[in-house]
Structure formats: C-alpha cells, structure tokens
A and B are shown apart, each in its own frame.
Chain A
C-alpha cells in the first residue's frame, strides 16, 4: 500500500528533479559549492597583483578580503578546466614548464589526464618545446592551451 503513495510522490519528485538540475544551484551569491572561475579568456601574461584579490606586499595595514567571485549567471563550474587553470597560474606554470618539473606542471598533467607512467615524457616534451608553447611575452592563456595541445598530440 505504501508503495503506491511512494510511486505518486516519486512521480512528482522526478518532475522537480528534472527542473532543479537545469536551474542555477544555490542563491545569487558565491557561497559554498561554487568554485570561482571568472570568464576570463585570452588574458595576456598576468602580473601577480592582478590575478588575485590579495593585498600587495607594500600595503601597510591592508586586509585580505574574503570575497570570491562567480560568473554572472552564478553557475557552478565545478570541474577544473585546463583553460582556467592556465589563465590563473600562467606565470608559475611557465616557470615549471621551463624547469621540466613542479607542482603547477603536475597539476596541468592531472587536468589533461596524463597517466602517471607517462608524466616523465610529458614533462620532457613540454620543456623541450617551451618556445613553441610560450611563444612570446604577449602570448595569451588561450594560445598557450592551444599550443600545448598541438605539442602533445
């Protein structure tokens, strides 16, 4: 008997589930469950001060604000995407790539789903093709990602 009521409710719930999953999750602000990715693409080599909202080293009595950003629709972009990681960490990534090792390079490999057994050759390949990836100081993160794809494929 209970099963019928469950069936009735489930039918109703499925309708809500479907509509819920297409709506933006959460409220308008950026709270938990929202990893922030500004929709920046093609940014040129970022100066450290502009990539974060932290205080600069010289500012006396500065306070690091705890706010975080979201894109306009408040959409959740949960899975780390290569482009966003490259855009936000371009300098440190370039540095690691030139060295052929480092945390940022490893993170790139993880995002590109390079298996652990293939990481060594991945690192070497990118290092020896450094100039093809970071072509000049004006290179944009979008170009870097495209160049990396060209090199590894």
Chain B
C-alpha cells in the first residue's frame, strides 16, 4: 500500500485517535465493573466500622428513628412501614442502621426510578451517617436529589417559632390547647411563615367519638404545612383563642437539620394518641434532631400536654419570653374598656347593622376616641359575622363604610399595643395536685388525701389558665374518720369539667358543666354510701366589678347505688355561685346548690359552700373551706383545711 506523505499526517493521528477512543470505552467498562464490586466492599467496610462504633446505640440515631425504650424492648413510635429500610426496622435499631448504610451505597440502577430513591427521602439519616462514618464524598454514588433542595430554596428558612394557641373548652380535642411550629422565611413577615402541624387526620366531627378514638390511638397522625395566616384566622378570629409565639434560638445549622428531618417525615404516619404521642410531643422530635443536647423527647414518660412542652423549652433555654397575639374577643374587651358606655352602645348598634357610621361622625369626641370606636366596630362586625349573627351583605356594607370613614381619620399609634399581656402559660401552676387535708364534720374529725393528675380547678390560681374553667380527670379523694377508724374512698372524679365564661353586652357565652364518677353521699338521715353520679348543667355568668364572676346554672343529676330506693335517684335544680379574685393571692368561691330528686329515691339536697384559697407559691396553696348540707332532713356542717401541692 502506498501512503502519500500528506495522507500519513491525517491517517496516523486518526489511527491513534481511534486507539484512544477504544481504550476509553474499555476503561469505562472496566470502571463500571470495578464500581459494582466497590460499592459492595464499601457497604461491608462501613457496616463493620458502624458495628465497632456501636452507632446503632447512638442517641442521635434513636432520635432520628423515634426509638423509645419500653417494657418490651425498643420500638419506634413511627408506625408507617415506609419509614424503615429494614423489614424489622421498627424494632431493631441495628438492622435499620445497616440497611441504611446499604441503601446509601446502593447503585441507582437497582432502584425503581419511578419512585423517589430512598436516599432522596432520608436526607437527615444519610447526612448523619456520612458525618459519623467519615465517608469521603468521592466514595458516595452520584445521585441528584433535588426535591429536598427545591424545598429549601423555596422556603429559605431563617427562624423557627413554637406557637401555642391557648385552650378552648368547647372542644374536647382543644381543651389543653395546641402547639405547632412556624418556619419564618427570608420574606420578612410572620404571617407568611410556614406552619408545621402534627395532627390526627380525620373528618370526625362528633366530639365524644373523636375523644375516645384519639385516646385509643386509632387515628393516623401526619405532619402538614400551611401558611401561618391561615392558622391565625382560625385560632384567633374564629375560635377566640389567644396565641403565644415562642421564638426558638436555633442557629442555621440546627434549622437545616430540623428541615432535613421534617422532609423525612413527609407523608409518614404514626398512630395519634391524645395522651402521649400527640401534637405537642411529636414536635419535640424535630427540635431534638436540630439540637441533640436538648433531650426533649426523653423528658416525658407518661402524658404530655402542650403547656408541659412550653415549660420544658423554657427550662432548656431554647427561647425567651413569648410574643402575645390576642384573640378577637380579647381585643374587643380591651377596645371597649377605653370607651364610655354610650360609645360602646353605638359600636354594638352599628356592628349589628342597626345604625350607620354617621352616628360616629357626628359625635363630639376627640379624633383618637373616634379611631378606637371605628376599630371596635370593625372587630365586632367580624365577630358577629363569624357567629352568623349578621348576614354577609350587612357585614360588607357596614364594614366598608366604617373603614372608609376610618381611613379619613389618619394614622395613630395602635391602642392594642398598650394591652396588658396576660401571665405566660408556662408560669401557671403545674397540672398534678396533691392535697393533705384535715377537717371535722358534725364533730367527727377526719384526715383526707386528694390526688388530681390533671389539670386545673375553679379555686386554683388563674395565672396562665382560662378564668372560669375547670378541667379535672381521674381525681381521687380518700378520707379517714378517726371515730370509724377506717379509710374510705370519699370521691373518684372521673370527669369534672366546668366552663364558666362571662357574658357581656358584646358576647353571649353560655357556660356548661359535666361531672361523673363515684362519691360518698348521704342516702338517709345517718348513713352515707358510695354512689355513681352523673351531673350535667348549663347556664350563664357575668363579671360584676368589685364582686367577681357571678354564675347561675341549671343542674340535672342522677345517682345510682344499691342502697338507694329503687337503686337510683334523678333530680334537677340549680347552682348559684360567685368566684372572686380578692387579691393576687386570695381567691374566694362561694356557691349554693339545691337539687330536688323527684324520681327513684325521692329526697332533697341543699348545700352551701365557702372556699377561701391563699396562694403560697406558684405550686402551693392553702384552702379554708366550710360547707353546709341539708338532706334527708338533717343538717351537716363541715370545716376543712387543705394544703395543696402542685407538681
């Protein structure tokens, strides 16, 4: 073959180029096959390191997987099988860790590409493993996981705040309040923050069924995200609950860890248990992941209420004093307090659509007063619409005309900023109560012991609680009469709930009560017996200045016991009472009740009680009590002295 000189210059380089190309391809192939062997070797290598370091016992690994040590061994509180990489991952931290290491190095081709590959979900887990096992980046398979990065780029978190809407008695699920988180973003406005909420997912609207199923853990709990402004409207405006915002001092790295774990928990369920694995408790995992030194989740072994979690985050210095966001009803009461009776009545009329804004225009009062009056009218209009007292059309007409007038009055420092902030919820007395009592009843001396696991009584200090509320479950009272020389169960309060809100010209708020359990009660002139009881009632209350809260309730009560004639009695009557905060440390509760039992064991029951409570510290108080009972035509007088300890 004759090759021209010029031809050589083209052909020879071309030949070498071809050689190089072929070699590259064989290299690629070689590397691929080396790759597959490599990842297996890496898995073996790192599992062995993990075993040496006993990483499966690491506190942080247990937090990430929500493991709890119990009577029957370790198990994860998460119930969704999708959360675990190992088949027995829920019960076996070691096999879960080793499955995680395996998944970390898994060849992407082995994973079903239609679903998100595991490593893209479990960002927190894998990040931690890489850090702990000191895995260099070059050994990690190249996978692009953009959904987590997308979320972070869109949220751009700057801070995390724990939010506590206070308790709402009219809903069993909300009696103890609620907690959720908000993630503030670079957009500097709290209303635009992302709310993170853990809740039982259900459409159940009948309270008692919800309560029962939630107690038994028969609902699935999920995390969900929504704009904070939506929550503000819901809690503050519709349910009239005060909101407290606790800004957490998490740094950037900690916030990042929180977000990674939150991402892992997307669409993952745990069974929702109202008493312990509830909204408040599940949030704590997010905080523990952010800062492992906190150990928040291990602070609780039995029940958890939202306020318990507030106490713990303050104890651990995770935040400072909270910011107070008043409910609509709080705002209305405060604005009204700045106006005269005449001005208040004008506001009520306009907010009811019975008068128009010209009534304000023609008033001869300072501009500042007119501003407050307009603000009050608008808040009342919104309240009236929310409770369906006025139609949307009426609301729209008066709302716009009032605002139009208000806009002509110019700007003024918002009077609501001078509103007194109530006592912080975490500063109230603790929920458990133990009382050691001494007393005498018709010359019989007795000693008494009471234990109440939860939560608050009418006579307790209202600091941090809703005034006029009583929430008691499972209270036990035992008495020892010296003459009889035996301890008797005096009372077992299974349920004891009172809601005594004050009505006024702005709000009509009926109260209610529900009590059930067993108690010692007189069944004849000389004999008392343990009876099962159920008492329900409703009524109204008003705050009278200098006196306190006056209430009047209608009562219905039924008692059941073998010793009763026909084994039961059913009666109706009423209760009339006065709750007064005489000083900051002295509270008085006076009430009298009359019940006429007309069915079953017919008899009358009249009682008059006076209780005077003196606060010693936040978590201790003493009570002097006197009660008079007339039933089965006999009078009983009882004096009692109680020492209360809260813990």
Contact = CB atoms under 8 A, between A and B. Distances in A.
A34 B144 CA distance: 21
Contacts of A136: 400
Interface string A42-66: 0011011101111111111111111
Contact of A137 (B142, B190, B397): B397
A129 to B, nearest CB: 9
Nearest to A100: B411
A106 interface: yes
Given A2-B138, A45-B399, A66-B224, A13 B143 contact: yes
Contact of A123 (B239, B397, B411): B411
A79 interface: yes
B225 A61 contact: no
| Residue from A17, A31, A51, A102 with most neighbouring chain B CB atoms (10 Å) | A31
B90 to A, nearest CB: 21
A73 interface: no
Given A55-B238, A61-B208, A138-B396, A101 B414 contact: yes
A149 interface: no
Interface string B398-409: 011001101100
| Residue from B108, B205, B230 with most neighbouring chain A CB atoms (10 Å) | B230
A136 to B, nearest CB: 6
Contacts of B235: 54
A67 B224 contact: yes
Contacts of B396: 44-45, 137-138
A118 interface: no
A103 B414 CA distance: 11
A41 interface: no
A48 B144 contact: no
A152 interface: no
Given A1-B31, A26-B266, A66-B201, A79 B387 contact: no
Contacts of B205: 61-63
A8 B192 contact: no
B265 A32 contact: yes
B190 A64 contact: no
A145 interface: no
B378 interface: yes
Contact of B407 (A33, A60, A130): A130
B388 A56 contact: yes
A131 B407 contact: yes
Contacts of B230: 36, 52, 88
Contact of B171 (A21, A63, A110): A63
A33 B224 contact: no
B201 to A, nearest CB: 6
Interface stretch (B55-63, B146-154, B358-366, B472-480): B146-154
A26 B204 contact: no
Contact of A54 (B206, B238, B387, B393): B238
Interface string B124-156: 000000000000001001111011001100110
Contacts of B262: 32
A144 to B, nearest CB: 12
Given A49-B238, A52-B230, A103 B191 contact: yes
B385 interface: yes
A131 B203 CA distance: 42
A94 interface: yes
A48 to B, nearest CB: 5
A153 interface: no
Contacts of B144: 13, 16-17
A57 B28 contact: no
A147 interface: no
A124 B208 CA distance: 51
B559 interface: no
Contacts of B238: 48-49, 52, 54-57
Nearest to A29: B267
B81 interface: no
B142 A79 contact: no
B215 to A, nearest CB: 14
B188 to A, nearest CB: 6
| Residue from A6, A26, A97 with most neighbouring chain B CB atoms (10 Å) | A26
A30 interface: yes
Interface in B215-266: 222-227, 229-230, 233-235, 237-240, 262-263, 265-266
A15 B285 CA distance: 37
Contact of B224 (A58, A68, A131): A68
A148 interface: no
B207 A63 contact: yes
Contacts of B265: 32
A3 B392 CA distance: 68
A53 B226 CA distance: 12
Given A2-B31, A13-B142, A35 B226 contact: yes
B197 interface: yes
B146 A21 contact: yes
B300 interface: no
Contact of B172 (A5, A16, A61): A61
Given A4-B24, A100-B410, A100-B411, A57 B146 contact: no
Nearest to B379: A95
Contacts of A137: 393, 396-397, 399-400
30 contacts: A6-B142, A29-B267, A32-B151, A32-B225, A34-B225, A47-B395, A49-B238, A49-B385, A51-B233, A52-B238, A60-B170, A60-B171, A60-B207, A61-B207, A62-B171, A64-B174, A65-B203, A66-B199, A66-B201, A68-B225, A68-B226, A98-B374, A99-B406, A99-B407, A99-B414, A110-B188, A110-B192, A111-B187, A111-B189, A134-B404
Given A20-B147, A25-B147, A134-B404, 20 more contacts: A4-B27, A5-B32, A17-B146, A26-B147, A31-B224, A34-B225, A48-B233, A56-B388, A57-B238, A68-B225, A78-B154, A99-B407, A100-B407, A102-B414, A106-B189, A110-B187, A110-B188, A130-B403, A134-B400, A137-B399
